[in-house]
Amino acid sequence: MIAKSKVHSACLELLEKKIGIAKQGMEEAQASANNETKSSAGDKYETGRAMSQRERDLHARQLSELMNMKKTLNTIASTKTMNTVELGALVETNTLSYYISAGLGVINFEKQQIMAISAISPIAQAMLGKKVGDTFEWMKKENMILSVS
């Protein structure tokens, strides 16, 4: 069985990397906007600045979403053992393992794939409140919960 606290740490580590990338993207876009020089072709200058500003805004939105994910992860007691599927549960099914935490996607962990998903995702909603041995339907297929921790 996989240690939930280690999966949680792997999620935080991945999230920190993504936060760093978003911050770097914001800084580079801002620097690009600041370095646009005014020339006789004023429209080109304005277009370049606008494109850089849009890119900076995109990175800012990504950073905001990532910071919200980090808040969610920080509220999870990764050492708490759970009997039902809820926020913070590590769930093994007959098809895949899921960590109900933040929507980070697939985490390759100790030669296994674990899907880090948000509690509001459709598949998490299908599992919430279920226990070991319970089944749920996902994509027209019956899935069984093998373990919850």
Ramachandran category for residue 66: left, alpha or beta (phi over 0 → left; psi -120 to 50 → alpha) = alpha
At residue 130, the 3 state secondary structure works out as coil
The amino acid sitting at 32 is S
Verify that 50 and 96 share a domain, yes or no: no
Verify that 65 and 104 share a domain, yes or no: no
108, β-bridge pairs: 113
Q: Tell me whether residue 82 is in a domain.
A: no
Structural domain boundaries enclosing 112: 90-148
At residue 43, the 3 state secondary structure works out as helix
What are the tens digits of pLDDT across the range 34-89?
Answer: 776 555 455 555 677 788 888 888 999 999 999 999 999 999 999 999 999 999 99
pTM for the whole thing? 0.85
Verify that 117 and 64 share a domain, yes or no: no
Q: Given this model, what pLDDT does residue 44 score?
A: 58
Verify that 106 and 57 share a domain, yes or no: no
Q: Given this model, what pLDDT does residue 83 score?
A: 96
Verify that 16 and 67 share a domain, yes or no: yes
Q: Given this model, what pLDDT does residue 40 score?
A: 47
Long-range contact set of residues 24-33: C-beta below 8 Å, sequence gap at least 24: 25/55, 25/58, 25/59, 25/62, 26/56, 26/59, 26/60, 26/63, 29/53, 29/55, 29/56, 29/59, 30/56
Q: What's the structural domain count of the chain?
A: 2
Verify that 9 and 55 share a domain, yes or no: yes
Verify that 114 and 51 share a domain, yes or no: no
Q: Tell me whether residue 81 is in a domain.
A: no
What are the tens digits of pLDDT across the range 94-119?
Answer: 999 999 999 999 998 888 999 999 99
Please give the backbone phi and psi of residue 99, each rounded to the nearest 5 degrees, phi first: -115, 110
Examine the fold and report which residue of 43, 75, 107 is the final residue of a domain before the chain moves on.
Answer: 75
Q: Tell me whether residue 83 is in a domain.
A: no
Q: Given this model, what pLDDT does residue 109 score?
A: 82
Verify that 51 and 112 share a domain, yes or no: no
Verify that 15 and 61 share a domain, yes or no: yes
35, β-bridge pairs: none
Verify that 25 and 50 share a domain, yes or no: yes
Verify that 95 and 52 share a domain, yes or no: no
Q: Which of 121, 128, 126 is nearest to 143 (CA)?
A: 126
Verify that 24 and 64 share a domain, yes or no: yes
Q: Given this model, what pLDDT does residue 89 score?
A: 98
Q: Tell me whether residue 24 is in a domain.
A: yes
Q: Which string of DSSP letters, residue by residue, matches 65-86?
A: HHHHHHHHHHH--TT---SB--
Q: Tell me whether residue 38 is in a domain.
A: yes
